[in-house]
Amino acid sequence: MNPTDAEKAVELFKKAYKLQMSGFLDDAIKYYKESIAVYPTAEAHTFLGWTYSFQARYDEAIEECRKAIEIDPEFGNPYNDIGVYCIELKRYEEAITWLQKAKEAKRYESPHYPRFNLGRAYERLGRWQEAIREYESALELVPDYQLAYQALTRLQAAMN
């Protein structure tokens, strides 16, 4: 690895992320791609996919996440993100498969996300008990996770 390339790729990635968070998606895509061209990382592919998802370009987003997984199969984010994109595409069973893989990932700083998203997929399939279990699991990891709390409360109220 050429440290200069890795440093340049990180610099481009950071610029892309700032642009993405500011809503300049096309510019962000350009810089993520430049970062990947200099030194491909699972993170850059995942975040490029995330940017595509902001534009509802889910198939392209999924493809970037698959590339991220090829680079680093231990990185949990792309598995979760594919699951979320499958939910958006109403492919709930497929989403469950990816979200289960995200739960098992060894490198994942936010393990409550796939649990919450699994709850969302199960809920849309009418599998309410499984959804409740996943929302509760997310809350065990992050007790003040409001989205999980709201989903759990809403679903419990609907069942009563």
Across residues 97-102, what is the average pLDDT?
98
Confidence (pLDDT) at 95: 98
Categorize the per-residue pLDDT at 17 as very low, low, confident or very high, splitting at 50, 70 and 90.
very high
Ordered structural domains, the chain, with CATH? 1-109 (1.25.40.10), 114-160 (no CATH)
Q: Is residue 1 pLDDT above 70, yes or no?
A: no
Q: Which of 63, 61, 45 is nearest to 53 (CA)?
A: 61
66: enclosing H helix or E strand = helix 58-71
Q: What is the pTM of this model?
A: 0.93
**Percent of the residues in the chain that have a pLDDT greater than 70, as a whole number:** 98
Opening angle at CA 143, ends 137 and 146, nearest 5: 95
Tell me how crowded residue 156 is: count the other CB atoms within 10 A of its CB. 12
| Average pLDDT of span 121-147 | 97
pLDDT of res. 159: 86
Q: How confident is the model at residue 53 (pLDDT cuts 50, 70, 90)?
A: very high
